[in-house]
């Protein structure tokens, strides 16, 4: 076997999934994660269609994912007084199986922690490639040599910046931002979500398995914001300013922002690259073709990690054979998923009262069974847009 010793940057979803498959094929894996511990925040993420479910099954985690599923019911659009305006059937938002992102990350991490060296609180500062390997330096740890380096470090990938160029060349912002925190379930929601809108703003409050907590998500349209991605207080302030005059329960939800420990904030953006491998370095998941919200990003990360590791195993570790096959298998699939994501912002935070009304009419149509089935099929089509090879077991 060539290239046995592999460094993965990022312990989100794609990173641990890569570690899982690579360990299974006999590679040695090290994962370096910038955060001090596994980042457990984030909203619920869903899997839909046979490709996603097949990979979860092949990983042996489908049952566990099912056991931890949110089992969300319908979501309800409310007006400022909290009265129902329209509702959205669960399958539309929640796919075939929906799970909290943090629970998923924990499940895959637990499956890999004995066979993988996880290094938290550190990150790569340079990558120098030679004919027979890669020399890597870290912000804190000693320099080390590896055979391959994989960037699974998300939308703002450090590996991408070091090897492929500045983020601004690849990151396309779609004009919306998303934030999320956990809050007390003060409305006693039971496996349901409430959605409230004002022009260019959307607030989603949902509670599922654990009725003592709810997750609050804030979506807003905005010209490009400039902020420090590592300054959480600054980001919290951006969110509270953006929602300062929004009605319904918003003020109460915002009051939990200062103490929130699982705050998530990002732009709704996509990574578009012609090639996401170079020499001995490859990008997997959001780092290479991120679609954020509504872009089936978690399913894409899971499927791509499987395809990447499978191709490397089939090529007996030879990256010169495996990388082009990985790129060929994933490029069109990822583009299809990204296309679906383009509409997420306007759907969650319509620009005007008329557009909110129109969106609610669409929700009403989706509540009729035949139409819901039709639209579900459309969204599942992109998720299924890949034929998975029978990689070694």
Ligand X SMILES: Cc1cc2nc3c(=O)[nH]c(=O)nc-3n(C[C@H](O)[C@H](O)[C@H](O)COP(=O)(O)OP(=O)(O)OC[C@H]3O[C@@H](n4cnc5c(N)ncnc54)[C@H](O)[C@@H]3O)c2cc1C
Where do contacts with ligand X occur on this chain (CB under 6 A)? Answer: 9-15, 32-35, 39, 41-43, 101, 123, 152-154, 156, 158, 180, 264, 285-287, 290, 292-293, 297-298, 301
* Nearest residue (CB) to ligand X, 93 versus 131: 93
* Nearest residue (CB) to ligand X, 180 versus 202: 180
Half-sphere exposure for 79 (CA within 13 Å, toward CB): 6
CB of 211 to ligand X, least distance (A): 20
CB of 360 to ligand X, least distance (A): 23
State the burial class of residue 247 (Cβ atoms within 10 Å of its Cβ: 0-12, 13-18, 19+): middle
DSSP letters for 126-183: EEEEETTEEEEEESSSPPEEESEEEE---TT-HHHHHHT--GGGTEEEEEEEEEEEEE
Rg from Cα positions in the chain: 21
Of all residues in this chain, which one has the CB nearest to ligand X in the complex?
A: 12
CB of 309 to ligand X, least distance (A): 14
* Nearest residue (CB) to ligand X, 9 versus 182: 9
* Nearest residue (CB) to ligand X, 9 versus 90: 9
* Nearest residue (CB) to ligand X, 27 versus 176: 176
What's the angle, vertex CA 63, arms to CA 57 and CA 67, rounded to 5? 150
* Nearest residue (CB) to ligand X, 132 versus 259: 259
CB of 364 to ligand X, least distance (A): 25
Phi-psi region of 319 (alpha: psi -120 to 50; beta: other; left: phi over 0): alpha
CB of 43 to ligand X, least distance (A): 3
Question: In this structure, are strands 201-207 and 75-78 parallel, antiparallel, or unpaired?
Answer: unpaired
Q: Which two tokens stand for residue 206?
A: 């949902």
Contact 203, 216 (CB under 8 A): yes
What's the angle, vertex CA 105, arms to CA 101 and CA 110, rounded to 5? 150
* Nearest residue (CB) to ligand X, 162 versus 315: 162
CB of 85 to ligand X, least distance (A): 24
CB of 139 to ligand X, least distance (A): 9
């Amino acid at each position: 076997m060539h290239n046995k010793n592999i460094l993965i940057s990022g312990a989100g979803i794609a990173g641990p999934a890569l570690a899982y498959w690579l360990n299974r094929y006999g590679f040695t894996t090290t994962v370096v994660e910038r955060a001090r511990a596994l980042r457990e925040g984030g909203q619920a993420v869903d899997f839909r269609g046979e490709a996603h479910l097949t990979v979860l099954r092949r990983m042996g985690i489908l049952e566990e994912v099912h056991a931890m599923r949110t089992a969300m019911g319908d979501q309800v659009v409310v007006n400022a007084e909290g009265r129902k305006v329209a509702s959205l059937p669960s399958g539309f938002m929640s796919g075939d199986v929906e799970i909290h992102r943090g629970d998923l990350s924990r499940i895959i991490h637990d499956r890999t922690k004995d066979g993988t060296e996880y290094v938290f609180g550190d990150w790569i500062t340079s990558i120098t490639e030679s004919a027979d390997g890669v020399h890597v330096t870290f912000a804190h740890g000693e320099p080390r040599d590896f055979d391959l380096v994989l960037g699974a470090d998300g939308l703002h990938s450090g590996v991408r910046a070091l090897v492929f160029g500045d983020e601004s060349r690849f990151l396309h912002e779609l004009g919306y931002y998303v934030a999320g925190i956990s809050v007390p379930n003060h409305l006693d929601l039971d496996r349901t979500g409430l959605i409230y809108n004002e022009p260019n703003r959307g607030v989603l409050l949902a509670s599922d398995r654990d009725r003592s907590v709810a997750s609050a998500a804030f979506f807003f349209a905005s010209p490009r914001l400039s902020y420090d991605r590592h300054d959480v207080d600054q980001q919290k302030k951006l969110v509270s300013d953006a929602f300062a005059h929004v009605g319904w329960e918003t003020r109460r939800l915002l009051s939990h922002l200062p103490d929130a420990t699982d705050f998530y904030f990002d732009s709704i953006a996509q990574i578009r690259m012609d090639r996401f491998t170079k020499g001995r370095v490859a990008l997997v998941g959001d780092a290479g073709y991120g679609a954020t919200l509504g872009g089936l990003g978690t399913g894409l990360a899971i499927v791509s990690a499987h395809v990447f590791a499978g191709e490397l195993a089939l090529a007996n570790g030879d990256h010169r054979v495996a990388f082009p096959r990985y790129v060929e298998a994933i490029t069109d699939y990822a583009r299809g998923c990204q296309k679906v994501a383009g509409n997420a912002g306007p759907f969650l935070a319509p620009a005007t009262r008329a557009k909110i009304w129109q969106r609610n009419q669409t929700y009403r149509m989706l509540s009729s069974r035949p139409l819901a089935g039709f639209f579900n099929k459309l969204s599942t089509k992109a998720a299924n847009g890949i034929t998975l090879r029978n990689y070694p077991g």
